[in-house]
Copies of this chain bind each other. A is one copy, B any other.
Amino acid sequence: MLSKNQKKLIASMAQKKHRDSQHLFLAEGPKTVTDLLESGIEPSLIVHTQEWKLPSSCITDSNILFPVSQKDLASTSLLKTPQQVLALFKQPQHSVNNNAIYKELTLVLDGIQDPGNMGTIIRLADWFGINQIICSIDTVDIFNPKVVQATMGAVARIKIHYTNLPEFFQQYHEKCDNPIYGTYLEGDNIYKTSLISPSLIVMGNEGRGIRDENKNYIRHKITIPTFPADSQTSESLNVGVATAIVCSEFRRSTTYSR
């Protein structure tokens, strides 16, 4: 049976300070939990109804499994309509691999706030073989339960670091000559620009874009043009969608057009 302290621990996962101090995060629902288990992230507690079955490919110490009634699951879950299972996982610990960053295409996020966008971007990185993401300190936490929901197993494969961006850019400039690209509403047409990898691609906050303190480091401003080029359209593309197009275009142009 789940103890009072375990229930408290689960409830505390809504807050970053508790996730950080415990080095844990919460995942809910069969799809997310199964995907994380299969990705090899270590669970520390799995609370489930009898409907849910541990995937046969995953072996787990049976004393971290807590079968409960639907009612008990509901009283433990942070969701309005909990489904079958929730689990605490240990936060994967990564350190920045600077040598790899200098040799690979890397994403940099300047203050992304929306958990759904963050989840989309992590899955895109996973799809397009971008192994590391550098985030400003104020970017939404990847262990926020809503980000976990949107990201699923990709969080096991992508290394994500939070750091002071101007210092990171300064160091990058000193250590290598790779270009730093930033996406803007007004910049060079991405389809007509020669895109180079290894490099950095900087994506800005949903409302204010890329911060002034980071702009000086960006020598290559790129933009996704509308079609036709001067048409009156939606004022901007959502940052998740823009990241999709930019990553696709980097991989296409450096892989297939040479």
A residues with a Cβ closer than 8 A to B are: 116, 120, 123-124, 126-129, 152-154, 157, 189, 191-192, 224, 226-228, 231-234, 237-238, 240-241, 244-245, 248-249, 251-252, 255-256
CB distance from A247 to the nearest CB of B (A): 9
Q: How far is the CA of A249 from the CA of B152 in the complex (A)?
A: 27
Does B249 lie within 8 Å of A129, measured CB to CB? no
Does A233 lie within 8 Å of B120, measured CB to CB? no
- A150 to B, closest residue via Cβ: B238
Give the interface centre of A154, A228, A233 by most chain B CB atoms within 10 Å.
A233
Which B residues are in CB contact (< 8 Å) with A152? Answer: 234
Does B231 lie within 8 Å of A154, measured CB to CB? no
Q: Assuming A224-B248, A249-B252, is B241 touching A124 (CB within 8 A)?
A: yes
Does A124 lie within 8 Å of B237, measured CB to CB? yes
Q: How far is the CA of A22 from the CA of B248 in the complex (A)?
A: 43
Q: Report which of B189, B228, B233 forms a contact with A126, defined as CB distance below 8 A.
A: B233
Closest 5 A/B residue pairs (Cβ): A129-B227, A241-B244, A191-B256, A245-B248, A123-B234
